[in-house]
Structure 1
Amino acid sequence: MYSIVKYILLFFLAFISLVSCKQEQKNKIQVGFSQAMTTDDWRKQMNSSMKIEASLRPEVNLTISDANNTIQKQIDDIEKFISNRVDVIIVSPIQSKPLTAVVEKSIKAGIPVLVVDRKIEGENYTAYLGADNIEIGRIAARYIISHSKGSGKIIEIMGAKGSSPAYERSMGFNQLVSENKRFSVTNVIQGDWEKESVKKPLKAVLLQNPDVEYIFAHNDRMGLSAWETAKTLGLEKKIKFLGVDGLNTVNGGIELVKSGVLDGTILYPTGGNEALKLALKMYNKETIAKTNILNTIVIDKNNAEIIENQMDKVDQQQEVIESQQGAINLQEKEYASQNNLVRLLSFFLMIILSLTVYSIYSTISIARKKKLLEKFNLTVIEQNNEIQEMAKIAERSNEAKLNFFTGLSHEFKTPITLIMSYVESLIENEKIKGTKLIDEIKLIHKNSNRLLRLINQLLDFRKIEEQKFTLRTSNAKIYDFTNEVMKNFKGEATRRNIDFQLVCKNKSLELFMDLGLMDKVYFNLLSNAFKFTPDNGKISISITENQDNTVKISFKDSGIGIPENELHNVFSPFFRASNNNKNSSGIGLHLSKEFVLLHHGKIELKSKQGSEFVVTLLKGKSHLQPSEIINRAENPNLTPNLILDNLDIKSDLNDVDPISDSEKHSLLLIEDNIDLVHFLKSKLSNEYVVHTSDGSDAIEKATEIVPDIIICDINLVDKDGYEISKVLKKDLRSSHIPIIILTAQSNKESVLKGLQSGVDQYITKPFSFSILKQSISSLLFNREKLRYYYTNNIYRIEPESRFGNQEQSFITKMNDIIKFNIEDPKFSVEDLADKLGVSRVQLYRKVKAIIGINISDHINNVKLEKAAELLKANEMNISEIAYSLGFSSPNYFSTAFKNKFGISPKEYKSSN
Structure 2
Amino acid sequence: MRSLIKLSLRIFICLIIVSCSGEKEADKYKIGFSQAMTTDNWRKEMNKSMRVEASMHPDLELEIKDAGNHIAKQITQIDDFIQEKVDVLIVSPIQSIPITPVIEKAMNAGIPVIVIDRKIEGRNFTAYVGANNIEIGRNAAKYIISHSENEATIIEITGQEGSSPAHERSIGFKNTLDSVPELQITYSIKGDWEKASIKDRLSSLLDTVKTPDYIFCHNDRMAMGAWEVARSKSLEDDIKIIGVDGLFGPNGGIQMVKDGLLDATLLYPTGGAEAIKMASDLIQGENINKYNILRTVVIDSVNVDIMQNQFDKMNQQQNDIEQQQAVIDEQIETYNSQSALIRIMIVLLLLLLFLTGWSIYLVVRIKKSKRELEINNKKIIVQRNQIENFAEKLKVSNESKINFFTALSHEFKTPLTLITSSIESIADRPNKELKGISHETNLIINNSRRLLRLINELLDFRKLENGTYNIKPVKTRIVPFLKNIVDDFRSEAVKRSVKLNFCPGNEDMEVYIDRDMMDKVFFNILSNAFKFTPKNGNILVAVNESENEVSIIFKDSGIGIPKEEFKRIFDPYMQGSNNLKPSSGLGLFISKQFVELHEGSISVSSHQGAEFKISIPKGKAHFKDVDVSEIETDFQSSTSYKLPETIPAEEPGNVALDKNAETVLIIEDNTDLSYVLKKKLSTDYHVYLSDGTDGIEKALEIIPDVIICDLNLPTKNGFEICGELKSDLRTSHIPTIILTALDDKESRLKALKAGADTYITKPFNYEILRESLKSALYNREKLRYYYTNRIDEVKDEHFENAEQNFLKDLNAFIDENLRDPDFSVEELAGKLNISRVQLYRKVKALLGISISEYISAQRLNKARNLLQQSDMNISEIAYEVGYSSPGYFSTSFKNKYGISPKQLKS
TM-score between the two structures when normalised by the length of structure 2: 0.37
TM-score between the two structures when normalised by the length of structure 1: 0.37
